[in-house]
A and B are shown apart, each in its own frame.
Chain A
Amino acid sequence: MEILIQQLVNSLSVASVTILIGMGITLIFGLAGIVNFAHGEFLMIGGIATWFFVGLGLNFFAAVVLAMGVVGALGFVAERGLFRFTLDRPMNGFIMSIGISVILQHVVIRIFNEFQKSIPDPVGAVWVVGGVHIMAMRAVVVAITAVVVAITYFGISRSRYGMALRASVSDQSTAELMGVPVRRYVTGVFVYGSILAGLGGALMVALFPITPFVGSVVITRGFVVSLMGGLGNVYGAVVAGLVLGLVDGLSAGYGYPEWTDAYSLIIMIVILIVRPQGLLSGTLGPKAS
């Protein structure tokens, strides 16, 4: 029983990172209409930047903020410099993002190296609750994710900016006529999603070591979460991320751990075939055909 709770707690913290990346993808894909294959690399850069700043002697939480800034700036440059030219041809944008992911990965390898990078546990405390050992850092990760999810959810569904954003997804030209600066909203969503990826990477490197190759693993899980939850649906991404995290955590403990990756892939393929709009309803993406 203790082992089960232990597994659940651990998978909750892993699920947090998955939720952050999935939420970024679901916003960028579902609301900005851009499939960014380099999103996993954005996360990787968030993690590497955190590692770098911590290595410079910075406090972990300051490093996280800086890393989010770095990835946000990267997202801004990518959107303004590259993706905006392919908005009317989403497939080209998709393929371009493959190029971006290859570039980012190898630029990081070039600047640093391809080996694992880790930072010392920033909190370092271990709580014992009823015989269950919980690393305090894992609890911090879950708490940060919960706050970010809440902010994003209310930002999208309650604020006037979120409403304007959803309006421009469902009818771009009408939204433009109503005075919504649609272009700026697309950039804003892209940068916000990138910042979430940066945060995800920063929290990931606090939990376990990462390599410059982590992006391709993460991107698959991110797509699984965003498509399972329905594109543009923050709530759906959270539910899907939790489900996926629990499946992973439990399969690592009780099932066949070597098949862990396969479960999420099979779930995703089945969902995409049976319900292309996702398990929970979402947009199909503004320009997805």
Chain B
Amino acid sequence: MEYRELEVSTPNGELGKSGRLAKGKTSKEQNHGLKGRLVAHGRLEQIIVAVAIVVAMAALPSLHIGYRFLSIAITTGYTAIALYGLGLQFGQAGIMSVGHAAMIGIGAYVAAMLFVHFGIGFWGALPASIIVAAIAGGLVGLPSLRVAGQHYIIITFCFCALLVVCLTNGGGLTGAATGLDVGSIGRVFGVNFDKLDNYYYLVLSALALSLAIFYAIANSSYGRTLRAIRENEQLAQAIGINIDLQKIGVFMVSGAFAGAAGILQAYYLRHISPTLYGAFPSLYLALMVMLGGARLIYGPLIGAIIVNFLPEVMNLNPVDSRIAYGVALLVVILLLPGGVSAGLLDIYRWLTVRSHALFGKTSLAP
């Protein structure tokens, strides 16, 4: 119960604070009156926003924005994919991790090791990266069944530091501190993925897919189950939810997202090393997901865009931009605990409610 309850991503009812498992739109509307209506309205709005975002992002390369800008867009893309996994884990199930870069690292290193030692390329390594990262996610999630809250977060940080030590000492297998070189995807069906535009589209389609999966999970009965665990673990257990199984499940899903992000990063950078997956990248992932907001569908994307594009847009050097992220995180936590996305949504709701009241589009009476 860290934040205010936000209804928009959860059109269906869920385990409320009263402990009643409210199901279906009707009970929600009864419960929330006007808000319930807005959620029903929200469907069309959500689709419009989603289409607008996808069109805008797909149009980016044709605007001739330049190599540098497009590189940042690619970085933003694969980072956002990992953030959607973290968003499910933190936003839905309420379990934060400050070691999420380790999961990305596992995906990236599986891809790189398969390439270097076995000559397996991108498409062959893709399922392997996702599966191995998912299993790793489940394993790292195991302690969370016994250890709750802040103690578990510290464990995730330790796992991350441990992975960096292992990768650095892995000798020829992991390329030690210098890391591994990765090949290129090359040509598939006449599409040359060495071209930055095409790689961007690859990342973008993966991002669109993860957005869709995030949406589907958040709005499924599984999402409701996770939120029930988040809100009240004892109660969820009492009504017959297998908490352990569901938690491990969400860790595996989260790991799978990170694995996909990892292989995309590895084949984009073409060279990976342990420092990419250490403590600081992990902290920045946590920062991004908090900044954007983990519960709403565009939260992780907004967080990734802000953090990756801020230095470029505001012309900041890396040191200043990191100070700016830190300050932004403090401001968000103290003033907008649901993240920027929830803040935007609040403003939007406030505007629409006002316009409805002024122009009488919708009656305010229930």
Partner-B contacts on A (CB < 8 A): 29, 35, 37, 82, 85-86, 89-92, 94-96, 98-103, 105-107, 109-110, 216, 220, 223-224, 227, 258-259, 261-262, 265-266, 268-269, 272-273, 276, 285, 288-289
Query: Are A99 and B287 touching (Cβ within 8 A)?
Result: yes
Query: Are B323 and A95 touching (Cβ within 8 A)?
Result: no
Query: Are B157 and A220 touching (Cβ within 8 A)?
Result: yes
A100 to B323, CA, bound (A): 9
Whether B311 is near chain A, meaning CB under 8 Å from some CB there, is no
Binary per-residue interface labels of chain B (280-312) against chain A in the complex, 1 for a CB within 8 Å, 0 otherwise: 100100110010000000000000000000000
Going nearest first, the 10 A-B pairs with the smallest beta carbon separation are: A99-B329, A103-B326, A102-B326, A99-B326, A106-B322, A262-B165, A216-B279, A265-B162, A289-B149, A96-B333
Query: Are A268 and B158 touching (Cβ within 8 A)?
Result: yes
Query: Are B169 and A223 touching (Cβ within 8 A)?
Result: no
Q: Which residues of A contact B142 (CB under 8 A)?
A: 273
Query: Are A288 and B154 touching (Cβ within 8 A)?
Result: no
Q: Which residues of B contact A92 (CB under 8 A)?
A: 2, 333, 337
- Report A94 CB to chain B, min CB distance, Å: 6
- Chain A minimum-CB-distance residue to B327: A103
DSSP majority for the A interface? helix
Query: Are B153 and A103 touching (Cβ within 8 A)?
Result: no
Q: Which residues of A contact B2 (CB under 8 A)?
A: 89, 91-92
Other A-B pairs, 16, CB within 8 Å; known A216-B280, A261-B165: A82-B334, A103-B330, A106-B326, A223-B158, A227-B154, A259-B165, A259-B169, A262-B162, A262-B169, A265-B158, A265-B165, A273-B143, A288-B148, A288-B149, A288-B151, A289-B148
Contact of B161 (CB < 8 Å), options: A105, A261, A285: A261
A216 to B319, CA, bound (A): 17
- Chain B minimum-CB-distance residue to A86: B333
Q: Which residues of B contact A276 (CB under 8 A)?
A: 146-147, 151
Whether B250 is near chain A, meaning CB under 8 Å from some CB there, is no
Query: Are B283 and A101 touching (Cβ within 8 A)?
Result: yes
Whether B166 is near chain A, meaning CB under 8 Å from some CB there, is yes
Query: Are B330 and A99 touching (Cβ within 8 A)?
Result: yes
Whether B50 is near chain A, meaning CB under 8 Å from some CB there, is no
- Chain A minimum-CB-distance residue to B176: A258
Binary per-residue interface labels of chain B (92-126) against chain A in the complex, 1 for a CB within 8 Å, 0 otherwise: 00001010000000000000000000000000000
A206 to B89, CA, bound (A): 43
Q: Which residues of B contact A94 (CB under 8 A)?
A: 96, 150, 153
Residue of A37, A91, A101, A288 with most partner-chain B CB within 10 A: A91
- Chain B minimum-CB-distance residue to A114: B319
A110 to B322, CA, bound (A): 11
Given the interface pairs A227-B151, A288-B151, A289-B149, the reply to whether A102 lies near B322 with Cβ below 8 Å is yes
Residue contacts A-B, CB under 8 angstroms, 13 given: A37-B98, A95-B287, A98-B286, A99-B326, A102-B325, A102-B326, A106-B319, A106-B320, A223-B157, A268-B154, A268-B155, A273-B155, A276-B147
- Report A272 CB to chain B, min CB distance, Å: 5
Q: Which of B137-190 contact A (CB under 8 A)?
A: 142-143, 146-151, 153-155, 157-159, 161-162, 165-166, 168-169
A181 to B280, CA, bound (A): 38
- Report A260 CB to chain B, min CB distance, Å: 9
Q: Which residues of B contact A103 (CB under 8 A)?
A: 322-323, 326-327, 330
A269 to B328, CA, bound (A): 32
- Chain A minimum-CB-distance residue to B337: A92
A196 to B306, CA, bound (A): 36
- Report B95 CB to chain A, min CB distance, Å: 10
Query: Are B150 and A91 touching (Cβ within 8 A)?
Result: yes
Q: Which residues of B contact A109 (CB under 8 A)?
A: 319
- Report B248 CB to chain A, min CB distance, Å: 15
- Chain B minimum-CB-distance residue to A259: B169
A265 to B328, CA, bound (A): 31
- Chain B minimum-CB-distance residue to A104: B326
- Report A251 CB to chain B, min CB distance, Å: 12
Q: Which residues of A contact B279 (CB under 8 A)?
A: 216, 220
Q: Which residues of A contact B319 (CB under 8 A)?
A: 106, 109-110
A261 to B286, CA, bound (A): 23
Q: Which residues of B contact A29 (CB under 8 A)?
A: 150
Given the interface pairs A92-B333, A109-B319, the reply to whether A35 lies near B150 with Cβ below 8 Å is yes
